[in-house]
Structure 1
């Protein structure tokens, strides 16, 4: 099984100025998947990226790199000299020429199937994550990609867009422990008493008649961040689904219910998903 993280550089030609990027919160919403034998994981970027069919640019793009259980070494970036649509188009063309199919649901995800071989490539800015079930096929594809772009091998994937990956003899574990702890810290609830469950039964939040929040933005920001956390915490999906219905006009009861989710996270911030392999 091959699991790679990649950054790449575009060959000379079609240079231009890279527009600035505005970072928002919550971070792009990834989704984690795994096929039998730990064949791979993928992360889905922000919906805005998908709608543009290209990743956002970066004012100081990271250096071209490729990760696949190798050493990590940074080299000077060349992507900052190219418009994002331009270099993403070049990469897309190279991937399709190799036989990859571009996802219609997320234009930054490419998949390749040939017999029993499966490869998937996820693009985010100038980073690639390559996952596959055949190490020889992964090596061949990396050689092809290196002929098209400048690449560097990185260490095994451990952290990507807030998702932490830990490998062991029994399989792969994904969590968002640091991300959850950051939410607790920013909310001032790091020392709060843990809760045993994320939401009260018979909550009646749809019939809440308490006062509207004077400023709904903190509520919206918190729910948005918790939505991202459901990537590895399906146990809070129902509670987040309920609370996300009141983003337009949240009331005090809705805010209290959101805080209860944070108390629940306090009990086990490192809980996540395990994929046996």
Structure 2
């Protein structure tokens, strides 16, 4: 059995069991974000006011917000998931399915709505723009979708407690807010991204409950580990468009290398003693 799961037995439960307190919090967060989205969208003045309020945070710590925005990039976010998949390999199926659902919803809405971003609407001297300029495809925020898909995977896949799930959602919220802090998204984009990200994971879980063959498929684990490992180890050479946030790229790379070295201490003895390590045994000792 996984050594870490032995130390934290409540994380060792099957992620497809009954909803935990963390999952209930996720449902509540979706409802709150959806209602907020409707209210802000129906009040154009409020949308602009909120944008400026959050955008004014950017100049206070441009490197921090640039890094947060980089961490919400899908490439770096996948790298962040490497430690999770090494810990709970079966989550690879949920990751792949959730990512597909989130991508389809996001890139279907963006071209259809084609809402202009703040730099295309507001005079550049009226707000703060950090990093590269983006003008179109504002709704929804793809980075916010990624941040909350990542949060949903952790909450649902690891069956986090209420307090830990709350911290996870708070972290995703910070990453999403960074999109307004750097000046490329409206509050409505961020709220929609939060809803789509969490809903994608919840839908993915429901589909896996019905699609047992995919849940138990052996290929999802090596595929998930390859993708997340590749993104993590090559993060320093990936251009997120935010030079000041390069610390985020190196953080992901160092974390990925460290967990791979640590994981080798768990997996190598099994491989050496048994000559081979079946894919279904990944994450077990």
Q: Normalised by the size of structure 2, how large is the TM-score?
A: 0.22
Higher-RCO chain (CA-CA 8 Å, sequence separation at least 6) = 2
Bigger share in helix: 2
In terms of fraction of residues, the more strand-rich structure is: 1
Task: Provide TM-score, normalisation by structure 1.
Answer: 0.22
Task: Please say which structure displays the higher CA radius of gyration.
Answer: 1
